[in-house]
Amino acid sequence: MTELPDLASLKLLVDVGELGSLGRAARAAGIAQPSASKRIAHLERRLGLPLLERTPRGSTLTAEGRMVAGWAAELVSAAQELVRAAQAVRQGAAALLRVAASMTVAEYLVPRWLGELQNREPGVPVGLDVVNSADVAARVLAEEVELGFVEGPNVPEGLASRVVGTDRLVVVVAPGHPWTRRRTALRGPELAGTPLVVRERGSGTRETLDLAFLELRQASPRLELGSNSAVKGAAQAGAAPAVLSGYAVEAELATGRLVEVPLAGINLVRTLRAVWRSGRNLTRPAAALLDISSRP
């Protein structure tokens, strides 16, 4: 595998574009301009592209540099979101705002929401518990957390809720699986009758799948695993087809490590919800996070 560029160099390139020169970007990074120049030169060799136009008046981005900086800005932003989410998990009980989220929501949506919350409510420490949907609901009801995010089709009694989005479950298989050569869409009875790699009971993904199979003859799972990563790994290894959130398999589908199998006659779309104790007035940070997560 080709060695990946380091984020510090990518951030430096983004700053050159935003600040207008390598000198200003170096000062923003707190490094000397010769060091900044060496970093960009190393990045140019790594990517095989000229990124800076060096003149006696200073260095600015080339056309290729502007394209790479645009892509790099997305990566830097995603890395910043990752750090904020990891910090929220680490802060735990010391946080001013405690939140619980199901695994899929926590992995793919919460980091962006926390970034926006930091802009709106700077300095508010957030503690994030990452558990399955059933445990999220239990923690909100027990007032261990103020706000939760779940994936399941039902909201337990005692909780108020608001829809924050939808998610589509997809059937995925390893590239060599016979289902990749199908000429017709996979229908519900055949899917239900196939031993699958699935998430554990209590997860929103599993609850949605079981509900879709309610009136169908369902085979026992081939494997029942406790995380999206574990399910994806088993499917990639050829253990069996898997059913997972579309969010969870975006990268694998894009790179061909997994293949989506078209479906017909079965509804695997689910609703994502924020939940909180009924009758409870949310604190300002919790209300802000609810508002952010509810925006289309």
Residue range 168-186, pLDDT digits in tens: 999 999 999 999 999 999 9
User: Which pLDDT band holds residue 272 (cuts at 50, 70, 90)?
Assistant: very high
Among residues 237, 278, 276, the alpha carbon closest in space to that of 258 is found at: 237
* CATH number assigned to the domain with residue range 165-270, chosen from the 4 options 3.40.50.880, 2.40.110.10, 3.40.190.290, 2.170.8.10: 3.40.190.290
CA separation for the pair 16, 23 (Å, rounded)? 8
pLDDT tens per residue across span 186-222: 999 999 999 999 999 989 899 999 999 998 999 999 9
Q: Does this chain's domain 77-164+272-294 share its CATH topology with 165-270?
A: yes
User: Can you give the residue ranges of every domain in the chain?
Assistant: 7-75, 77-164+272-294, 165-270
Cα 47 to the center of its chain, rounded Å:
26
Architecture category of domain 77-164+272-294 in CATH: 3-Layer(aba) Sandwich (3.40)
CA separation for the pair 96, 283 (Å, rounded)? 10
Among residues 259, 291, 257, the alpha carbon closest in space to that of 276 is found at: 291
Residue 30: the pLDDT is: 87
Instruction: With beta carbons less than 8 A apart as the criterion, state whether 204 and 152 touch.
Output: yes
Architecture category of domain 7-75 in CATH: Orthogonal Bundle (1.10)
Mean of the per-residue pLDDT values of the chain:
88
Among residues 82, 134, 140, the alpha carbon closest in space to that of 103 is found at: 134
SS3 string, 84-151, reads HHHHHHHHHHHCCEEEEECHHHHHHCHHHHHHHHHHHCCCCCEEEEECCHHHHHHHHHCCCCCEEEEC
